[in-house]
Structures are given as structure tokens and as C-alpha cells.
Amino acid sequence: MTDLGFSRRIKIAPSILAADFANFGAECRAIEAEGADWVHVDVMDGHFVPNITFGPATCAAIRPHIRGVMDVHLMIAPVDPYIEAFARAGADVISAHLEAGPHIHRTLQAIRGAGCKAGLALNPGTGIEDVAYLLDMVDLICVMTVNPGFGGQKFIASQVEKVRRLREMIGDRPIHIEIDGGVDPGTAPLVAEAGADVLVAGSAVFKGGSVANPAPYGENIRAIRAAAEAALR
């Protein structure tokens, strides 16, 4: 498993939901070559969210094409029966949704027990009160800034205040705050200033580029990073 070596520096995590589904390996290599810090893998089951993407087999297939962190976002319910399979597939981080079942504490224990960093994902309608009792169980908290299921949606601005409060709650604990949905050079500064350090972006990274022409991926990644870092100066 990749050593995350905790740091709050801004990390850009392109979501392969916006990539060419017929070319995932090459797309992962291209975004890393163009500056991606992590690769965000959106797993959807058509039950927890109204969309279906891919599962452990796809994660295992793309693992050899990812040098850095494979950040697996499970938008599935139930979660527990599949944790081992995603860990074996090579996930470095596995995030589960607080809303996916009644026993999130046990789920986070199982993710760490499988040798992965544990992430807790919160839908836009979910408050942070419950997080207070899970801070010793998580390495990352993913704040959804869209309703999960699809890329290309509009950023939900009300979540910026949630990020700020979460950052206060976390204090100096080594817990990443990840933002997922509608991140682009316009919204990245808002969440970076509020305390986020991992910025997931699908459409804002992949737009205009392709495996054959990856330069736009690098331009898009640099634009998001620059906008976020400018907000921290």
C-alpha cells in the first residue's frame, strides 16, 4: 500500500468517472504523467446511487497503471461484504458513506483491518455531528459537494461552511478533508480556504483532453491547483 505520508498540501485527485471507460489504464497513466496526485475511483452500485460504474475487478485491472494513491470511493450499500475485495484489488484509501448502513464504526474498523486508509464520505444533506465519535477511526473525510451518482453536476455552495466546521473539529489530527463534486478553478479556492486538502475533479480535469492528447489534463490540473493554493496565501 502506498505510504500516504500525511501532509495538508493541496492534492488533486482526478475522478476516472470522467475518463474514457474503454481506456482506463492509459487514462490513469496520462493523468499521473500530467500531475495528478491521487486517482479517484468512483464505485457505484445502482442501489445507493442511481448509477452503476465498476467494481473490484476494474480496480485490480487499473492498479498496475497507478503509481501513486488509488482512492476508492464506495457509493454502494451494503459496504462490508466488499471491503476485502477492494483491498485485495490494491486500494490505498477506501471511503464508505456514513449513510450506507447502520454500522459505520464497524465498517471503518473493517477498512483499516483490511490494511487500507479509512475514509468517511458525507452526502450534502448529512451533518457533521456524528463525525465527532468517529475521528479516531478515519484517515480522510470526504465532503460531497454534489449529490453522488454523476459527474458534471453543479457545486453545492452550502457545503463550504461544513468544510470549515469539519476543519475546526479535526484540529491537528492527521485527517484529510476531501472535496468531491463540481470542483474547478472557481470552486477550488472556496474549499481550500475552508480547510480542504484533497480536491477530486472529474469533468474539470478531463475536459478538452484525451489519452492521445493529454496536455489539457495537465493544464486543467495546474489551473485547479493554482487557484486552490492562491487562496491559502
Binds 119: which of ligand DX5, Zn ion, none (CB < 5-8 Å by kind)? none
Min dist CB 89 to ligand DX5, Å, is 18
CB-wise, 5 or 82, nearer to ligand DX5?
A: 82
If one asks whether residue 93 binds ligand DX5 (CB under 6 A), the answer comes out as no
Compute φ and ψ for 221, nearest 5 degrees.
Answer: -65, -45
42 is catalytic: yes
Q: State whether the Cα torsion 117-39-49-56 is positive or negative.
A: negative
Q: Please name the residue ranges forming H helices in 125-214.
A: 159-170, 188-194, 203-206
Choosing from 32, 34, 37, 42, the residue that interacts with Zn ion (CB under 5 A) is 42
Find residue 38's DSSP bridge partners. Answer: 69
If one asks whether residue 42 binds ligand DX5 (CB under 6 A), the answer comes out as yes
Min dist CB 171 to Zn ion, Å, is 25
Q: Is the peptide bond preceding residue 78 cis, with omega within 30 degrees of 0?
A: yes
Q: Which residues contact 17 (CB under 8 A, 6 or more apart)?
A: 42, 53, 151, 202
Cell of 48: 445507493
The count of residues interacting with ligand DX5 (CB under 6 A) is: 22
Min dist CB 174 to ligand DX5, Å, is 23
Q: State whether the Cα torsion 126-106-139-82 is positive or negative.
A: negative
CB-wise, 109 or 204, nearer to ligand DX5?
A: 204
Q: Which residues contact 212 (CB under 8 A, 6 or more apart)?
A: none
Q: What's at 189, amino acid-wise?
A: P
Q: Which of residues 167-186 bind ligand DX5 (CB under 6 A)?
A: 180-183
Active site residues: 42, 180
Q: Which residues contact ligand DX5 by CB under 6 A?
A: 15, 17-18, 40, 42, 73, 75, 146, 148-149, 151-153, 180-183, 200-204
Q: Which residues contact Zn ion by CB under 5 A?
A: 42, 73, 180
